[in-house]
Structure 1
Amino acid sequence: MHLLLESALHEDRLAGLLVLVSQFERASASGTRDDDLRTRLHLFYLDAVHRGRVDNWDLVDSTAEYLVGGYLLDRPIDLLLQLAASESLWERRVAMIATFGFLKVGDSGPTLTVATRLLPDQHDLIQKAVGWMLREVGKRVSREDLVTFLDANAPLMGRTALSYATEHLDPAERARYRAMPRMTREAMG
């Protein structure tokens, strides 16, 4: 895996990361769970992210929910908040996409927390990730959680995030959120 992740070829790094995910899933299997291996794989992944070896949206999107989100399911989410505050685009995206692991087990809390932190981020890849995970809150966990979040935050959201988040709402509701005037946090007091 080390050689694959050090490759200049995107496809090599993707292959190495998918092997890492597979190893993590095997180490996470009930009955044969290996917490030491899970920790080593998680830390190996974080090191690769920090070193810039996970440097494309598809690399993040196919790995973060497992190697960060899956790892943190029974732990505090402080790491997600640290990643969300990073100057690195890829670390911020890892923070948001990692919350998919929580959504898959019915917990929208981490997604809503990280999304709130990333609302001011105007990078298109962060906007898309925030909107996608919020949409998944409504689809997988609770439409009420999504609507409550949108009622409080839609005026603060970028158009891309709002568009993705409201994609599965009925047309009238979607139009209502999209028609809300844009505001900054400072303007809201």
Structure 2
Amino acid sequence: MTSQDVILALKERASAERAATSARFFKTDKGQYGEGDKFIGVNMPDTRAVCKKYKDLPKLEVQKLLDSKVHEHRMAGAIILTYQFAKADAAEREKIYQLYMKNVYAGRINNWDLVDVTTPRIVGAYLIDKPRDVLTMLAKSQNLWQRRVAILATFAFINRGESADAIAIAKILLHDKHDLIHKAVGWMLREMGKRVDEKTLTSFLDTHAQQMPRTMLRYSIERLSSKQKSHYMNIKPNKVTMVVE
């Protein structure tokens, strides 16, 4: 069982038409957030099916997938790590977490889908019973994807009824200039209101809505009542936040 087996299995499910669509959707042109990323056109259900077949792939072979310039190869490597993490003991989880974070810092977990699909299941899950200072460091990074990892990791805590870390990271990212961070923070705040406590969300909004980028605010209030939505959207922002595409 090698990385080449996974690559060939993905190739069998590839579509040139889907590859072209994905390249546009994930903003791969010069100057865009996914600049230079390569797609072969494999959808997520097919990618997951391949990953389940090769879920026991040795970590050295997983790393070869993560080293690939092809997006779906990196996605497969990261998903395989989530499968391995879920059934691992504490010592093995430590190894998987360290491997994943090595690739975060190396810039291989480098688009929003890669982060969103795998970060809560590895970084968040690993940190559940550990100090979470690393998330503060990631949230303050100059790297877009490290900042997204910071906020998406809190999804694991939100699912356990915890809101403190989501709030803390959201505050750090409140004035972030990138639209993908606005969306991610708004999403996690919305989930916090849904899964933990709506009053915790509205308390955050009462304090920070005036400073929040409009996209972040809109995402965060999606599950509130029409009256509440109208109230928060009618709060005049006190700062214009530049959106970086």
Normalising TM by the smaller chain, what interval?
over 0.9
Are 2:111 and 1:50 aligned? no
* Shift, 1:75, TM fit: 1.1
* In 1, Cα distance between equivalents of 2:131 and 2:237: 33
Q: Percent identity?
A: 46
* In 1, Cα distance between equivalents of 2:164 and 2:123: 16
TM-score, structure 2 normalization: 0.72
Alignment partner, residue 86 of structure 1: 141
Q: Deviations over 1:132-176 (max 9, x none)?
A: 000000111100110111111100100000000001111111111
* In 2, Cα distance between equivalents of 1:157 and 1:77: 24
* In 1, Cα distance between equivalents of 2:177 and 2:231: 22
Q: Secondary structure at the match of 2:223?
A: coil
* In 1, Cα distance between equivalents of 2:131 and 2:211: 27
* Shift, 1:36, TM fit: 1.1
User: Whose radius of gyration is greater, 1 or 2?
Assistant: 2
Alignment partner, residue 73 of structure 2: 12
Q: Which sections of structure 2, spanning at least 5 residues, go unmatched?
A: 1-61, 240-245
Are 2:223 and 1:162 aligned? no
TM-score, structure 1 normalization: 0.93
* In 2, Cα distance between equivalents of 1:76 and 1:181: 37
Q: Which amino acid aligns with 1:139?
A: K
Alignment partner, residue 179 of structure 2: 124
Are 2:83 and 1:22 aligned? yes
Q: Which amino acid aligns with 2:171?
A: T
Alignment partner, residue 190 of structure 2: 135
Alignment partner, residue 207 of structure 2: 152
Q: Which amino acid aligns with 1:2?
A: Q
Aligned equivalent of 1:101, options 151, 156, 161: 156
Q: Deviations over 1:53-104 (max 9, x none)?
A: 0010000000111111111111121011000000000000000000000011
* In 1, Cα distance between equivalents of 2:234 and 2:177: 19
Q: Which amino acid aligns with 2:139?
A: A
Are 2:120 and 1:65 aligned? yes
